[in-house]
Structure 1
Amino acid sequence: MQIFSTFDSNIHLEIAISTLGKNGIKNENIYAVPLDNRTEERRLFDTLHRSDGTSLIDIGMALATAFSVIGASIGFELSWGPIYWGLIGAISGFVVGVAIRLFMELVIRKRKRVLKGKQSEVILIIDCEETQIALVENILWKHFAMGVAITKVES
């Protein structure tokens, strides 16, 4: 039987491996594979097939609405009228909102990603007998495994 589990690269992984060794799992039957960190920088603009879930125009749309209402209200007393001043307010609000979001994505979030220093995950593969499955699975869950899967190996 093979048991696959994923861990964050931290001390709990090392403790889990040593606990497995103390409980009769040989070191030859434990295989740890670290995943590589992303080397390329994240893209700012989404494509049709890939999206990261963040929007660049959400603040721009909200500010465009607010600025257009203010521009239309003030436009009743100005020479061009409320329609032109509402459009001017909408365009300027959208530009200000997109500029704010770009600043947040390029400067603030990049700085947080660098400071955070997230380590990659580790996949742990364990070969064991069917009688040891419950013990191994219990040890992995107690040492904060992110996920555990059991497969039967045909020999």
Structure 2
Amino acid sequence: MQLFSTFEHTAYIEMAISTLEKKGIKKEHIFVVPLDNRSEEHKLFDNIKRSDGTSLIDIGAALSTAFAVIGASIGFKLAWGPIYWGLIGATVGFVLGVVIRLFTEVVLKKKRRLMKGYHSEIIVIVDCEEEKAETVENILFKHYALGVAKVK
């Protein structure tokens, strides 16, 4: 029986492996594979086949509405009238909202990703007898495995 488990890149992996070896699992039956980090940057704009769920126009739409109302209200006192000033306010609000959203996605979230330090996960594959499978699974979970799967 094989058990597959994933771990974050921490010292708990070494502790889990040494505990497995103490329980009678040979070193040859434990296989550890690190996953590679993504080398390319995340794409900012979505296409028809892939979407990350982040909208660039949500703040723009809200600010466009607010600025249009303010522009139309002030437009009653200005020379061009409320319709033109409402449209100008809507355009300015939309552009400002998109710029704010682009700034947060490109600058702030990139810094947050770097500070958070996403490290690659580790896959640990353990080959053992069916009698030891429950023990191995418990050991892996006690050492903070993210998930464990059994394959007969």
Aligned match of 1:103: 103
Paired letter, 2:61: M
Matched, 1:41 2:47: no
The 3-state SS of whatever aligns with 1:24 is: coil
Aligned match of 1:66: 66
Cα offset, 1:115, TM superposition = 2.3
Aligned residue pairs total 152
Q: TM-score, normalised by structure 1?
A: 0.95
Aligned match of 1:125: 125
Q: Deviations over 1:22-67 (max 9, x none)?
A: 1111010000111000001111111111112211111111110110
Aligned match of 1:22: 22
Paired letter, 1:30: I
Q: TM-score, normalised by structure 2?
A: 0.96
The 3-state SS of whatever aligns with 1:10 is: coil
Compare 102-111 and 83-92 and name the one that shifted more: 102-111
For 2:73 and 2:141, locate their aligned partners in 1 and report how far apart those are by CA, in whole Å. Answer: 61
Counting aligned pairs with the same residue, the percent is 66
Q: Deviations over 1:81-121 (max 9, x none)?
A: 11111111000000001111111111111122222221101
Paired letter, 1:80: W
For 1:58 and 1:143, locate their aligned partners in 2 and report how far apart those are by CA, in whole Å. Answer: 42
For 1:76 and 1:31, locate their aligned partners in 2 and report how far apart those are by CA, in whole Å. Answer: 74
Cα offset, 1:140, TM superposition = 0.8
Compare 104-113 and 66-75 and name the one that shifted more: 104-113
What's the C-alpha RMSD, in Å, of the aligned pairs? 0.9
Q: Which runs of 5+ in 2 are unaligned?
A: none
For 1:41 and 1:114, locate their aligned partners in 2 and report how far apart those are by CA, in whole Å. Answer: 12
Compare 74-83 and 15-24 and name the one that shifted more: 74-83
For 1:99 and 1:14, locate their aligned partners in 2 and report how far apart those are by CA, in whole Å. Answer: 46
